[in-house]
Amino acid sequence: MTEKDFISNNLDTSNLETGKFTWKTPSNIALVKYWGKKKHQIPENTSISFTLDACFTLTTLTFEKRHSELISESRHNFEVYFEGKKKEDFKPKIATFFDRIEQYCPFLKEYDYKIESRNSFPHSSGIASSASGMSALALCVMSLEKSLSGVEMTDEYFYKKASFLARLGSGSACRSVKGSIVVWGKHGEVEGSSNLYGVEFKDEVHSNFKNFHDTILLVDEGEKQVSSTVGHKLMFGHPFAEKRFEQAEENISKIKEILKSGDLKAFVNIVESEALTLHAMMMTSNPYFILMKPNTLKIINKIWEFRAETDLNLCFTLDAGANVHLLYPENEREVVNKFVVKELIQYCQNNHYICDRIGKGAKLLN
């Protein structure tokens, strides 16, 4: 599919005055990372993620028909509430999102909106809410489009376009729409994959990955030191960028096989290497950043000691921050949980951590 396939023209808004939709959408954790993008939110390399379950955003989009004399006004009209409070500072990002998706959803300007959102995780936890937040909003917009569309809209189109729109809000958000394992970026070995939207990974997945856990250790609960927008830009002219993008494509091929074979040792190796590569890219860019904190390193070393002692398959991954995601299979849960409580929680800010696991994707609540 191309961008043109996502333009909805001539939708009749005359029969829909007002209404609302609520979507609950999960966060996701990348195994092979997206870091570096071209114009229009096109990724430099393919990425793959596990969809989470307990970390989610709940968004209600209420819409009301605009007076016809206002429709030609250039800006979209909306109010944003986060956890019950009006949030002016959230508006610019959403305004940019509306502007970017305008050409694909021209009906948007015919309504006024109230956006009410909340996260299951603390806002200042250092967990990025852009993936779940933007996918929730994109799905609400799609529900509105579906109600306006005179013809039956297939689920396939609905979710593809939702992911397409979410991507325009935040790249990783396109992986928070549908499915437990999602691939974003055109890759020769992943059927149906595209730079424009995320697709559910449809290959056979070994039972070792069923109910996989992600315990998130909140090492640094502050705002992110480097926004992802700034971070992605660091890959322009980066001396190792091209090699990194090639490596990510190779890692997708490898992880595809690992997900099938259930080879947990190989999984650990690739996931940790991806996390450290992401941080290495930030350390070797100009300007350069170290986003890990001393406690991030302490945790990593503890994990490595734990693995050497137990031969279990607990591994870590990182986003563009200091928090650590602990990934491990269901059958190692008890031992790992004991280890986490005894050895790792001391390195978390205020002892905060979140127990999550692989989830299924977004859900419409009304």
Residues that bind ligand DP6 (CB under 6 A): 30, 33-35, 41, 47, 128, 130, 170-172, 228-229, 232, 278, 319-320
CA proximity to 344, closest of 360, 318, 323:
323
Nearer to ligand DP6, 26 or 171 (CB): 171
CB distance 313 to 328 below 8 Å: yes
CB distance 174 to 198 below 8 Å: yes
Nearer to ligand DP6, 35 or 316 (CB): 35
State in angstroms the smallest separation of the CB of 134 from ligand DP6.
Answer: 8
CA proximity to 165, closest of 115, 75, 101, 113:
101
The C-alpha angle with vertex 284 and arms to 279 and 289, in degrees rounded to 5, equals 60
State in angstroms the smallest separation of the CB of 222 from ligand DP6.
Answer: 17
Q: How many CB atoms lie within 10 A of CB 219?
A: 25
State in angstroms the smallest separation of the CB of 248 from ligand DP6.
Answer: 10
Nearer to ligand DP6, 8 or 179 (CB): 179
Q: Which two tokens stand for residue 366?
A: 């009304």
Q: Which two tokens stand for residue 255?
A: 């992880």
Find the DSSP H helices in the chain: 91-101, 130-148, 155-169, 228-233, 241-261, 264-283, 294-310, 333-339
At residue 103, φ and ψ (nearest 5 deg) are -65, -20
Nearer to ligand DP6, 55 or 148 (CB): 55
Q: Which two tokens stand for residue 206?
A: 């070994």
CB distance 146 to 158 below 8 Å: yes
State in angstroms the smallest separation of the CB of 318 from ligand DP6.
Answer: 8
State in angstroms the smallest separation of the CB of 321 from ligand DP6.
Answer: 8
State in angstroms the smallest separation of the CB of 48 from ligand DP6.
Answer: 9
Nearer to ligand DP6, 127 or 148 (CB): 127
Q: Which two tokens stand for residue 157?
A: 């189109």
CB distance 69 to 92 below 8 Å: no
What CA–CA distance (Å, rounded) separates 71 from 302? 59
Nearer to ligand DP6, 147 or 253 (CB): 253
What CA–CA distance (Å, rounded) separates 181 from 259? 10
State in angstroms the smallest separation of the CB of 128 from ligand DP6.
Answer: 6
State in angstroms the smallest separation of the CB of 203 from ligand DP6.
Answer: 20
CB-based closest residue to ligand DP6: 171
Nearer to ligand DP6, 148 or 174 (CB): 174
Q: Which two tokens stand for residue 129?
A: 């809410």
Nearer to ligand DP6, 300 or 320 (CB): 320
State in angstroms the smallest separation of the CB of 36 from ligand DP6.
Answer: 9
Nearer to ligand DP6, 214 or 319 (CB): 319
The C-alpha angle with vertex 155 and arms to 149 and 160, in degrees rounded to 5, equals 90
State in angstroms the smallest separation of the CB of 263 from ligand DP6.
Answer: 22
Q: Which two tokens stand for residue 171?
A: 């790249």
What CA–CA distance (Å, rounded) separates 17 from 72? 18
Nearer to ligand DP6, 182 or 348 (CB): 182
CA proximity to 6, closest of 94, 105, 80, 83:
105
